[in-house]
Chains A and B, each alone.
Chain A
C-alpha cells in the first residue's frame, strides 16, 4: 500500500516538471493578456495620443469626433505656452506647492509615526484610528468640510478669529471683524489652506508607513543609543533614519508625485476653474482644454510638460524599488 502510493507520487513528480515546462511557455502570457490589453488601450495609448494632440490646433469637439480636419502646428502650442509669462507663474506655483507639501507631509507623518511607536497600546490604537479617518475620507468631502470650516460667515475659523481680542487682532492683522472675510481670495492664503487640506489627507499614509518600517527593524539599537545618552534628535538621525533610508526615499518620491498633480482639492476649494491666480499645472491643462473656448491642443501640451516632470521623478522611484527588490 505504502509502496504503491510512493510509486505513484514518484511517477507524478517525475512527470510534473516536464508537463509544467511545456505549459509555462504560454500560460502566464495568456493570463497576462487581458491586463496588458487594458493597460495598453486605456493608459499607454492615451499617453501617446496626448503627445500627438499637442502638435495640433484643436479647438472644437467636432475635430475630436473626426468631423473636421486637424491642422498640424508643430511646436507652436509649446512655443505659445513657454513664451507666456503666466505659464512661468503656474510652474512656480506648482513646484513651490509640491515642495512645501512634501516637506510638511514628511515631517508631520514621520513625527506621528515615531509617536505611534512610542505610545501605549490603547492610546496608539486610538490615535491610529483617528489618523485612519483622515486617510479614509475622500478628497472631495474632506475638502468640502475644510471649506465649511473656513466659511466666511458661520465657519469655525471665522468665529475663532472674531473671538480674538479686538486690539490684538487689529494690531496683528489690521482688522477685528472677520465676518465676511474671503479666506480664499488672497492666492497666498488660498495656497496655505490648500496645503493644510492636502497635508491633512496625506500625512496618515506617511505615518503608517514609517510606523511599519519602525516595527520591522529591531528596536534594540535605538534603546542602546538612548542608554548611551543620545537625545531623541541624535537617535533619529544616527540610528533610525539610516535604517529606514529606503522607506523614506520611496515615501518622498511618492509624495512628490502625488503633490505635483493635486486636482480635486484645488478644484473644490477654488469652486471650479475660474480663479486663474491659483492655477497649478494639472488644473491649468484642464481649464485650457475644457473651459470654453476649448483648446485641446494647448491643454495637451501642458499635460505633456507635467508628465515629463513626473517622468523624471518616476525614474528615480522605479530605480529605488528595483534595488530593494534585488536586496530582498
Chain B
C-alpha cells in the first residue's frame, strides 16, 4: 500500500518534470491541423516532419537560415569550451597540486566571482565591447562567455585533479620525468574525463546564453540561435509547430550532452556546491 503511494508520487513527479519536454517534441511532430485543433491529442495522430523541413530549408529570418544560426552558436560555444578548458586546467592544477601563499585567497575569489550577478555586467561589458571595437562580432560573445564559465570550470576541475593520486606523479618524477612530461603523460590523461565533463558545462553555458547575445550582436546573420528564436517566435500568430521544431533542435544537443555526463556532472556540481 505504502509502496503504491510512493510509486504513484514518483510517477507524478516524473510527469511534471518530463511533460514539457515531451510536449515540445510531440507538438513539433504534429501537422498544423492537430496543433491548432480545439481538442489537443496527447500523441501525434499523423506524425510529420514538415516543421523540421520548413525550418531547415526555409529562412528563419529573411535571408538567414536555421543552419546559419546553429553554426554561429556552435562556433561561439566551441571556442568558449576550448579556451576555458585550457585556462581552467592550468589553474586547477595550481590549486589542487600546490600549497602556496595565496591559495585560499584565490579559492575565495573563485567563489565570490561566481556570485557576481552577470545580469549586472551587461552594461559595463557593453561599454568594453564598444571600446574594443568588438561590437557586433561573435568574438565579443566568446570573450564574455569565457569569463562567465571559467570560475566554475576551475572549481569543478580542481576536484578532478585532486582525485588523481599524487603518488603517480611522484613516481614519474622519480623515474626522471620533467614537470611538463608528468603533466602531459600522467596527469592529463587521468583528468581528461573530468575535463570533458567540465567542458560540457561550459558548452551549455555558452550555448544557452541569451541576454548578452541579444545585446552585443546586431546583424541578423550573426545572431546566435537563442536570439534568433526570440525574434522568430515573438511574431503575432506564432507558428507553434515550427517554434517547437526549432526548440527541439536547440534543446537536443544540450540534453544529449547532459545525459552523457550526467553522473559525473552531478557529482561535480554537488562536490562543488556541497563539499566545497
Contact = CB atoms under 8 A, between A and B. Distances in A.
B229 A144 contact: yes
A310 B115 contact: yes
A145 B11 CA distance: 21
A131 B14 contact: yes
A129 B255 CA distance: 11
Contacts of A271: 234
Contacts of B3: 120
Nearest to A52: B124
Contacts of B151: 39, 43
B210 A140 contact: yes
A18 to B, nearest CB: 13
Nearest to B122: A286
A42 B147 contact: yes
A42 B16 contact: no
A156 B13 contact: no
Contacts of B233: 144
Interface in A79-137: 112, 115-116, 118-120, 123-124, 126-127, 129-137
A200 B274 contact: no
A307 to B, nearest CB: 5
Given A49-B124, A53-B127, A286-B122, A42 B143 contact: yes
A322 B120 CA distance: 26
A301 B100 CA distance: 38
Interface residues of A, number: 108
A154 B262 CA distance: 35
Contact of B123 (A41, A154, A263, A296): A296
A186 B23 CA distance: 25
A300 interface: yes
B266 A138 contact: no
Interface string B80-123: 00000001101101110111101100111101110111111111
Interface stretch (A24-32, A164-172, A187-195, A233-241): A24-32
Nearest to B258: A136
Nearest to A26: B100
Contact of B124 (A130, A159, A300): A300
B179 A23 contact: yes
Nearest to B229: A140
Contact of A127 (B10, B154, B215): B10
Interface stretch (B48-56, B63-71, B190-198, B242-250): B242-250
Contacts of B24: 141, 144-145, 148
Nearest to A146: B20
Contacts of A72: none
B144 interface: yes
A215 B138 CA distance: 44
B159 interface: no
Contacts of A311: 115
A208 B144 CA distance: 30
A247 B274 contact: yes
Nearest to A260: B117
Contact of B276 (A115, A144, A325): A325
A213 B102 CA distance: 31
A210 B233 CA distance: 37
B111 A50 contact: no
A136 B210 contact: no
Contacts of A221: none
Contact of B117 (A112, A116, A310): A310
B120 to A, nearest CB: 4
A122 B93 CA distance: 39
A59 to B, nearest CB: 13
Contacts of B267: 212
A53 B124 CA distance: 8
5 contacts: A28-B95, A28-B103, A212-B270, A322-B108, A325-B107
8 closest Cβ pairs, A-B complex: A42-B147, A49-B124, A136-B258, A35-B91, A31-B94, A303-B120, A46-B124, A130-B14
